[in-house]
A and B are shown apart, each in its own frame.
Chain A
């Protein structure tokens, strides 16, 4: 049976060039990057090269990249690290209601530690209004965190505008760009962000490698203490093969990004236009300001999980909302936030395309 993978926002296969770059670091180049002899030095050099290309992908400096193990870790690090570092200045944080659980749960954790958190609402397309951000700022606000693109509904936020407000008010601004880096151009200078989360497996790199961009000169409290890895900000022997893989994936992404966008956009539009011809199917997220390979819907009267299983039976792999919510059989907070009624929120399906998706796949899917 034909297998069609339409869940690229969950993860992606490794790019073959990435695997080739990683393999030597599983085999002969196994040195600990802190060791002073040759294998250690080579591992250290490989990490620093990966840092350069990872930084280059988002227009940052190499020293502004802290490698972590996942997007969730980077998000925790940003919220708790800045929260703790600036708690003497103020204890108010602003996040949106459509954040990933790693932001929402970190914010809830900080609330238990005595911080106040504002959860900003979004409109029916899932957009945060920059004016609402400005309104929510108080003298106590130390950090604003708004997701760049939603993995569930594909909407891309006006991050640069929110960043401008944060900058003018001298407040740190973080964005979770896990779903956007690798799918659209992302430039930390243009976006006016001080911190940004992104993960390698979203752009054909390995799982287990991610990064937090931290603007030079920013004080941040580490989550993990121990050794001097990552400039003392994230202790633990580095996952050298994964970091090398992230660097290579970043380099390839910089080279191929426009090609990827041009490939998936018309295929996504084809899915959307055929799906909307079906009665009781509603597009979720923004109709235009959305990820190029992202099509998401709610379907009346049908439960999302049932649709997924039915599609999987036909060899089509897709998702229903976020992985966490769908496993827990909970209505997605993101869908509820954009005003989808609870009974409809259970009928959510998300199709995300990648560079391996073909026209024939989409025709088969549409049938």
Chain B
């Protein structure tokens, strides 16, 4: 199979929020580049309980694709993004039995 024939990942879509949500835990990776947003996300999701919401602050544009995709892969629920003045706030709900 050539690379062009390889199956593409489904587009996860980007959900923008008009207002930030209330989160149980917040982590800030502003000014940190790839893959710190994903590694931090992985660590921080382990620290919260199922049903709780984590928000992650980043100014890394690649996160717009990466974080929803990470949620898809790990089985956590991606709630949406709030766009602040100079950074994004991502909201993720930990799902029971997720990776």
Contacts and interface: CB of A to CB of B under 8 A. Distances in A.
- Verify that A and B bind, or say they do not: yes
B28 A233 contact: no
Interface stretch (A5-13, A135-143, A213-221): A213-221
Interface in A179-203: none
Contact of A219 (B30, B33, B36, B39): B30
8 contacts: A85-B30, A88-B85, A88-B86, A217-B28, A228-B39, A232-B29, A232-B36, A233-B32
Contacts of B31: 84-85, 219-222
Nearest to B36: A232
Nearest to B31: A221
B30 A228 contact: no
Contacts of B32: 222, 231-233
A225 interface: yes
A293 B33 CA distance: 43
B62 interface: no
A167 to B, nearest CB: 20
Interface residues of A, number: 13
Contacts of B85: 88
Interface of B: 28-33, 35-36, 39, 85-86
B30 A232 contact: no
B33 A225 contact: yes
Nearest to A226: B33
Contacts of A232: 29, 32-33, 36, 39
A66 to B, nearest CB: 12
Contacts of A233: 32
A69 to B, nearest CB: 20
A163 B39 CA distance: 34
A85 B28 CA distance: 13
A327 to B, nearest CB: 35
A228 B86 contact: no
A221 to B, nearest CB: 5
Contacts of B36: 228, 231-232
Nearest to A232: B36
Interface string A269-293: 0000000000000000000000000
